[in-house]
């Protein structure tokens, strides 16, 4: 259902069965809830000092080699709103790898 690099790739896909207004049985597939993993076991590669105009996808491309892995940086910084990580110039963003 998801690409192997997706943060959702290892989550269980569940099915919810229900009856529609017309009485027909319907199934809705959904992904189970994702929790931010424990970051204390991760390996910190570096910290990035945010500058004016920084974007998380660009930082991720430079440091991890793939802009779509921005969610790993968001997890490492315990951020539920990744776009806010680059809001404040001078703030520091942890770049790390998850534990094996």
Confidence (pTM): 0.73
User: Domain ranges in the chain?
Assistant: 43-97
**43-97 adopts what CATH topology?**
Membrane-bound Lytic Murein Transglycosylase D; Chain A (3.10.350)
> Residue holding tokens 């919810």?
16
Residue 99 binned pLDDT confidence (cut-offs 50, 70, 90): low
pLDDT single digits (tens) 11-63: 999 999 999 889 899 999 999 998 887 777 778 899 999 999 999 999 999 99
Minimal CA–CA distance to 94: which of 29, 54, 48, 62?
A: 48
């Amino acid at each position: 259902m998801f690409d192997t690099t997706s943060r959702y790739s290892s989550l269980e896909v569940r099915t919810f069965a229900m009856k529609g207004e017309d009485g027909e049985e319907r199934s809705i597939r959904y992904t189970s809830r994702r929790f931010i993993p424990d970051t204390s076991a991760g390996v910190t590669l570096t910290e990035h000092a945010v500058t004016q105009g920084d974007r998380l996808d660009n930082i991720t491309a430079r440091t991890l080699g793939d802009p779509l892995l921005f969610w790993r940086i968001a997890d490492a910084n315990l951020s539920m709103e990744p776009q806010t990580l680059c809001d404040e110039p001078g703030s520091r963003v942890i770049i790390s790898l998850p534990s094996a």
